[in-house]
Structure 1
Amino acid sequence: MADASGINMVTVLKHCRVSPPLDHSVAEQLLHLTFFDIFWLNWPSLSRVFFYDFPCSTTEFMQTIVPHLKKSLASTLKHYYPFCGNLITPTSLSNNITPVIRYLNGDSISLIIAEFSGSASQVFKHLSGDQSRDVDDLLALIPELPRGYTNTCEDDSTLSSPVLSVQVTLFPDQGFSIGFRNSHVIADGRSMSNFIRTWACINAKQLIGVDEYDNTINLPFYDRSLIKDPKGIASIFLREFLRVARENSKALPRGERSKELVQATFKMNRVQIQRLKNLVTARIPYVSTFVVACAYVWSCMAKTRLVLGQEKNDENEVENFVFLMDTRERLDPPIPSNYFGNAAVSCRCSLKSIQLVGEKEGFLNAVKEIKRVLDGKLNNEEVLKGFETVFDVIEASKGQRKFGVAGSPKFDYYSTDFGWGKPIKYEVVSENLD
């Protein structure tokens, strides 16, 4: 994070490694990847940050908050041990190696303890606010994932990569943030949310001297045998991962992260949501808050580009809206809500630019398209229908505009209380790595 003079204002106070309690009865644990997980192998890591309004000094922070967070994190990792492990992926199909998460007794995650040394009051309020903020400033509160390494043994080569890192940053006398960076391969939004909420719950209980919490938290479910793959989707996705990996190895190195990205928060209240619903109820009897909110933003973005003159002359240009749907309850058989890993499928909506920019019809068209795709998934007995061709669809849409959403209100991030109060702000941080 830099001020106007370009001086880095976030200082690392301590770099820790946190591991679960040693279990000498188990030397190694392997968590095999399903096709839901393998789908994300070529995607960049995810970044998120929580802001907590809890004024304290650096001394109090280092002597009380940090030790409690480390202790409770170790207790949490006892149940969420895969986060300490490494993602093991083959370098070619000839290796005959399937990707896994490998945890060895003693493995740990990276925990960075940092401090903001500038005008903490002004910057804390700015970064935890709703107005436009530089993405680079938010990223200063989120750690990088340590680099992986290649392990070669005879003819078999694998890449071993960490899957999670955490950073806690103090803003003296203002509050602190907790930033996470994780590989999407290890967990989807629900699993990641369950992990963070479990850590918060354990920390809050330990603050009041309660160390018995196994019966009060939603422990993860790891049984991969419930995920059926009769179409061999895992093999299809693994070949695609290795194909892209080979192409990337021959390509020129990527440039630096874009310095021009900003991020802002826009809020809609219940009255505004209801007004949006009222605009379409004459033609569509029932429409959810999710559908009207996404349709409104999608159509507004298309209209904004038109006003700014960024739309191409071709009114038939295709624009895509993508969101994820949790399949846990819809698989056959259903899997538990605390299933750990990935269990989401992508839903893609497509319209032509001209269909999105009409004053009222643009919004209505967006609602119809999102509802059509969503209802198709909800009402389809086979929720995975066509999932094996998802990479063909992605390839065919290259060059087209894409807009998507992350997370879900069902995860209730704002109830994540570590014992010092609920967060005043939660952010998924956007990055442009092209």
Structure 2
Amino acid sequence: MVTVLEKCRISPPQDHSVAENLLPLTFFDLVWQNWPSLSRVYFYDFPCSTSELRQTLVPRLKKSLASTLEHYFPFCGNLIIPTTFSDNATAALRYLKNDSVSLTIAEFSGTSSAGFEHLSADHARDVNELFSLIPELPPGDTDHASPVLSIQVTLFPGQGFSIGFRNSHLVADGRTMFNFIATWASINAKQLKSEDDFDTIKTLPFYDRSVIKDAKGMTSNFLKIGLQIAQQISKASGPATHELDLVQETLPYVSTFVVVCAYVWTCMAKASIVLANEIDDENEVLEHMIIAIDTRARLDPPIPSNYFGNAVSPCKITLNLSRLRGQEGFVYAAKEIKEALHEQINNDEGVLRGLDTIFDDIEAMKGQKIFGVAGSPKLDYYSTDFGFGKPKKYEVVSEKFSLAASRDSSGGLELGFAFSKNEMDAFTSVFTQGLIK
């Protein structure tokens, strides 16, 4: 669906004074050792010809990206993961002078019916259409050194452009990626106005690893476990987006986030009936939802919101499938999710309670249904303005269920789903019927 016009490498404009810079990975990072890379794409209205886009837009984006990488230079580097474990083995993100990020410039070459308006809409699309707007991570120079970020700008002549990102989860959680992209957008917008006060941007990264305390030795243990794990991961297809404006009438004092997660979960449980995925002994069947909690403000002491890396801790909610499908399934799910989140955040051990046994928990859940939530309503993706206006559409492509604050509705949410076509049809039917009721 796209034609590659150019592949290039973007480096910071000034090399750092040291020849090598190592940023150690923490236990927060090493949780994600065997996780697939993350993908997201932003769509922008910008009706110009291909020549105008290549002559004006692309050079500006390259210049501002280089300026951004001066602050986010570790994204130019490579993951260095040992192949075997020893007591002194460490994993790190290594930046060397002249390291760079891969940038692809492409042009949409598909049919007009499958173009900008189709891809940036809320209806269901084939996930491969969106993945054509997102680059693969380049291969590493060695078996244990691998790039962590790649970017693709795709031009839609006369309509606009998209910017697709793929990153290793090992080096950045959702907030870090949000901060990076927001910084790039801010610098590009400032350069359009000939401003250079980049140091005032609030999303510049904080790198001090000493703020992460590891009293239980999780970093070494997680590295050891991760080196022993081999996961087989498949991708689903068929993302679609639904918007919800929810008012908590039945469940007062419950957040919109909890309401949405509960409703989606019950719809997924009921949709499996439509798909004839019945299980004989329903009463014994458990399902699990994993919600990632941003710990930055909840650690003791708190760490800065611009901390670079991963700083999320999982909260697991386990529910009975038959109760989820029942008449009171929605209320049941909402209460359990609310209580689990409250307990995870407010217990005596702190927000990291249970993190040291996460791999044991994953092993115990093998063969059972698990799904998570990507994105956050607290991150304003639609504020990412490169100087050409806010995005028309933001889409997480790599996760089955994602959410974001709505572009146009105060307090509303956009929900993204990626299922197979049969799953999507069944889920959508249950989802919309529940809203009508």
- Conserved 8 A contact 1:135-1:431: no
The 2-side partners of 1:219 and 1:261 are apart by: 35
- Structure 2 residue 306 is matched with structure 1 residue 314: no
Corresponding position of 1:372: 339
Preserved contact between residue 182 and residue 203 of structure 2 (Cα < 8 Å): no
Once residues 76 and 43 of structure 1 are traced to their aligned partners in structure 2, the CA distance between those partners, rounded to angstroms, is 26
Match status 1:293 vs 2:255: no
Aligned-partner SS, 1:90: coil
Q: Distance in 1 between matches of 2:113 and 2:125?
A: 16
Shift of 1:215: 1.6
CA 1:172–1:243 in 2, change beyond 3 Å: closer, same or farther? Answer: same
Q: Secondary structure at the match of 1:133?
A: coil
| Alpha-carbon distance in 2 for matches of 1:101, 1:135 | 30
Shift of the alpha carbon at 1:186? 1.1
- Given that residues 121 and 174 in structure 1 are in contact (C-alpha distance below 8 angstroms), is that contact kept between their aligned partners in structure 2? no
| Aligned position for 1:193 | 178
Does 2:197 align with 1:221?
A: no
Q: TM-score, normalising length from structure 2?
A: 0.88
Q: State whether structure 2 residue 233 is matched by structure 1 residue 265.
A: no
Q: Quick one: distance in 2 between partners of 1:99 and 1:160? A: 10
The superposition leaves residues 311-364 of structure 1 with CA deviations (integer Å, 9 ceiling, x where unpaired) of: 3122121111111000111111111111111110011111111110112x1001
Residues in 2 aligned to 1:238 and 1:289: alpha-carbon distance in whole angstroms: 36
Aligned residues: 399
Runs of 4+ more than 6 Å apart: none
Offset from partner CA, 1:59-85 (integer Å, 9 cap, x none): 011100000000000000000011000
- 1:263 alignment partner AA: P
Superposed counterparts of 1:349-364, under 5 Å: 349-359=317-327, 361-364=328-331
Q: Does 1:117 align with 2:109?
A: yes
Q: 1:253-287, CA deviations, whole angstroms, 9 ceiling, x for partnerless residues?
A: x69x65x6101001112xxx11xx21233xxxx11
Amino acid at match of 2:61: L
Question: SS in structure 1 opposite 2:241?
Answer: coil
Shift of 1:38: 1.0
Partner of 2:43: 51
Report the counterpart of residue 107 of structure 1 in structure 2. 99
Task: Give the direction of change, closer, same or farther, for the CA distance of 1:24–1:324 in structure 2 (3 Å limit).
Answer: closer
Structure 1 equivalent of residue 434 of structure 2: none
Q: How high is the TM-score relative to the length of structure 1?
A: 0.89
- SS of equivalent residue, structure 1 residue 278: coil
CA shift for structure 1 position 120: 3.9
Counterpart for residue 303 of structure 1: 270
Q: Secondary structure at the match of 1:72?
A: helix
Counterparts of 1:24 and 1:310, CA distance in 2: 56
Tell me which amino acid in the other structure corresponds to 1:93. Answer: F
In 2 relative to 1, CA 307–79 (structure 1 residues): closer, same or farther, beyond 3 Å? same
Unaligned regions of 5+ residues in structure 1, if any?
1-8, 152-158, 249-253
**1:141: which partner in 2?**
133
Distance 1:314 1:11 in 2: 52
**1:93 partner SS:** coil
Aligned residue among 301, 319, 334 for 1:333: 301
1:76 maps to a residue whose letter is T
Identity %: 63
Larger mean Cα displacement after TM superposition, 24-33 or 370-379: 24-33
In the TM superposition, residue 431 of structure 1 has moved relative to its aligned partner by 6.1
Counterpart of 1:237? 222
Per the alignment, residue 395 of structure 1 pairs with: 363
Deviations 1:218-259 (A, max 9, x none): 321100001010100111111111111xx56xxxxx69x65x
| 1:149 shift after superposition | 4.0
* Structure 1 position 346 matched with structure 2 position 317: no
Q: Are residues 1:82 and 2:49 paired? A: no
Distance in 2 (CA, whole Å) between partners of 1:367 and 1:340 is: 32
Corresponding letter in the other structure for 1:268 = L
Structure 2 CA distance, aligned partners of 1:77 and 1:318? 45
Partner amino acid for 2:391? P
Question: For 1:311, what is the secondary structure of its paired residue?
Answer: coil
Structure 2: distance between partners of 1:89 and 1:356: 41
Name stretches of at least 5 consecutive residues in structure 2 with no aligned partner: 401-437
Find the aligned partners of 1:24 and 1:80 in 2 and give their Cα distance: 12
Paired residues of 2:257 and 2:377 also in contact (CA < 8 A): no
Aligned to 1:178: 163
Contact 1:22 1:105 in 2 (8 A): no
2:224 and 2:187 map into 1 onto residues whose CA distance is 41
1:116–1:170 Cα contact (<8 Å) kept? yes
Is 1:10 matched up with 2:2?
yes
Q: For residues 388 and 118 of structure 1, what CA distance do their matches in structure 2 show?
A: 48
Q: Aligned partners of 1:33 and 1:268: how far apart in 2? A: 37
CA deviation string 1:366-422 (max 9, x = no partner): 011101110001212421111110011011111111221101011100010001111
Aligned amino acid, residue 74 of structure 2: P
Give how far 1:185 is off.
Answer: 1.0
Helix, strand or coil for the counterpart of 1:414?
Answer: helix
Query: 1:209 aligns to what SS in structure 2?
Result: coil
Cα deviation for residue 122 of structure 1 reads 4.7
Name the aligned partner's letter for residue 219 of structure 1.
L
Q: In structure 2, what is the equivalent of residue 42 of structure 1? A: 34
User: Contact between 1:187 and 1:340, CA under 8 Å: does it hold in 2?
Assistant: yes
For the pair 1:280 / 2:248, whether they are aligned, the reply is: no
Q: Does 1:413 align with 2:381?
A: yes
SS at match of 2:367: coil
Distance 1:369 1:357 in 2: 15
Equivalent residue of 1:170, what SS? Answer: strand
Distance 2:258 2:208 in 1: 33
Q: Is the CA contact 1:298–1:403 (under 8 Å) kept in the aligned structure 2? A: no
Kept in 2, the 8 Å contact 1:121–1:171? The answer is no
In 2, distance between residues paired with 1:137 and 1:126? 10
Q: Residues 95 and 171 of structure 1: is their aligned pair in 2 closer, same or farther, counting only changes over 3 Å?
A: farther
